[in-house]
Amino acid sequence: MVSAISEEMDSTAASHGFQVFRLGMLGSGDSYEMGVPSVPLGEFYAVERWKKVGPVEIQLRSPVERIMIENGIVRSVITRGEELRADHYICALPFERVPEVAPGLDLDVSGFEYAPITGIHLWFDRPVIDVPQATLLDRTIQWIFNKHEGRAVQLVVSASRSLLEMPRGDVIALAIRELEEFLPAARGAKLEKAHVVKEVKAVLSARPGMESRRPLSRTNVRNLFLAGDWTRSGWPAIMEGAVRSGYLAAEAASEALGQPRRFLLADIA
C-alpha cells in the first residue's frame, strides 16, 4: 500500500487504500500481474518518437514564465521572453507553480503537500539477485529491481521521509544491511558503486480530505485545461494517475474543439 500510494498508511485517505486493494486483488483474475518496462521511459517519449505522431514541435529548456489570461481566456504563453499563441492550452506544471504562472486561474492549492520517494542504485562485483523484482516486507526498502543481470539493483522507498535527513553513507549502509537479510548472495559481495536519489517533491500526499480539493481538467478559463498527477484523475498522485490526467485533459480539449473523443483507458485493461 505504501509503495502503491506513496504515503504512510496512517496519513493516507482510506478511499485510496480500498481502491488499490480492489484493483490489485479483486479487479480480475490476473490483476496481480505487473508490467515492468524493458527500456528507459525516456526512450518511450523521446523527441524522435513525437515526430512520428504528426506536426508536433518540442521546445526544450523553455520554462513557462506566464500564462496570459484576459476575460476568461488564455491569449498567449510567455516562455524565454517569447509569446506563443494557440487555440487551446494544457497546463501540466507542478501544483506549486500554477498560481504564480497563471494567477487568473483562481486555483487554490493551499494545504497541498508533497510525499518524497528515494531511489537507491547499487552496483556489485557479482550477481546478488536472480529474480526480476522483489518486495521486502516490514523493512525500509520496499522494492528491489534487478538491473544488469543481477549485478546492479535499484531500490525504491516511497514516503521516504525517514531518509531525507540521513547522510548518503548511512542510506547505503541501511540498504545493504536489508539486502543481506533477504538475499544471501549479497553477503560478501563487494559494492563497486552507489547512487542515492532523494526526490523530495515526488508526488502529492494522499492525505485524507485532499481528493475533493484536487482540481478537474476543466478550469474557469474556457481554453485552458489541467494535467498532472495532482489533478483529480480518479487515482492517487502516482505515475498511473499522471497518465490518466493527460487522457482526461485531452478529452476535455477535444470536446472544446467540437471533436469529442475518448482517450481514458479502463482501470484494469
What pLDDT does 99 receive? 93
Q: From 203, 218, 238, give the residue that closes a domain.
A: 203
What are the backbone dihedrals phi and psi of residue 133, each rounded to the nearest 5 degrees, phi first?
A: -160, 165
Q: Kindly state whether residues 5 and 107 are assigned to the same domain.
A: yes
pTM: 0.87
Q: Kindly state whether residues 127 and 80 are assigned to the same domain.
A: no
| Number of domain units in the chain | 2
Q: Kindly state whether residues 85 and 3 are assigned to the same domain.
A: yes
pLDDT tens-digit series, residues 160-193: 999 999 999 999 999 999 999 999 999 989 999 9
Domain span at 139: 114-203
Q: Kindly state whether residues 214 and 178 are assigned to the same domain.
A: no
The residue-averaged pLDDT of 133-146 equals 93
CATH number of domain containing 93:
3.50.50
What pLDDT does 34 receive? 75
What pLDDT does 36 receive? 73
Q: Kindly state whether residues 233 and 178 are assigned to the same domain.
A: no
Q: Kindly state whether residues 57 and 146 are assigned to the same domain.
A: no
Q: Kindly state whether residues 102 and 40 are assigned to the same domain.
A: yes
Has residue 59 got a pLDDT over 70?
A: yes
Mean pLDDT, the chain, integer: 92
Which SS3 state, helix, strand or coil, does residue 67 take? Answer: strand
Q: Kindly state whether residues 216 and 102 are assigned to the same domain.
A: yes
The residue-averaged pLDDT of 222-248 equals 94
The residue-averaged pLDDT of 203-215 equals 94
What pLDDT does 269 receive? 54
Q: Which of 183, 193, 196, 195 is nearest to 127 (CA)?
A: 183
Q: From 187, 203, 219, give the residue that closes a domain.
A: 203
Q: Kindly state whether residues 57 and 123 are assigned to the same domain.
A: no
Q: Which amino acid is at 20?
A: V
The residue-averaged pLDDT of 255-264 equals 94
Between the alpha carbon of residue 263 and those of residues 254, 267, 268, the distances in Å are 10, 12, 15
- Give the start-end residues of each E strand in 92-251: 114-124, 133-135, 143-147, 152-158, 191-204, 224-226
CATH number of domain containing 199:
3.90.660.10
Q: Kindly state whether residues 34 and 132 are assigned to the same domain.
A: no
Query: How many helices and strands in the chain, by DSSP H and E?
Result: 8, 10
pLDDT tens-digit series, residues 35-53: 777 788 888 888 888 888 8
Q: From 203, 225, 250, give the residue that closes a domain.
A: 203
pLDDT tens-digit series, residues 66-125: 999 999 999 999 999 899 999 999 999 999 999 999 988 989 999 999 999 999 999 999
Between the alpha carbon of residue 77 and those of residues 73, 128, 255, the distances in Å are 12, 50, 22
Has residue 212 got a pLDDT over 70?
A: yes
Q: Kindly state whether residues 108 and 140 are assigned to the same domain.
A: no
Q: Kindly state whether residues 103 and 211 are assigned to the same domain.
A: yes
Query: Which residues neighbour 259 within 8 Å (Cβ) at sequence distance 6 or greater?
Result: none
User: pLDDT band at 24, cuts 50/70/90?
Assistant: confident
Q: 21-30, 85-94, 146-155, 214-223: lowest mean pLDDT where? A: 21-30
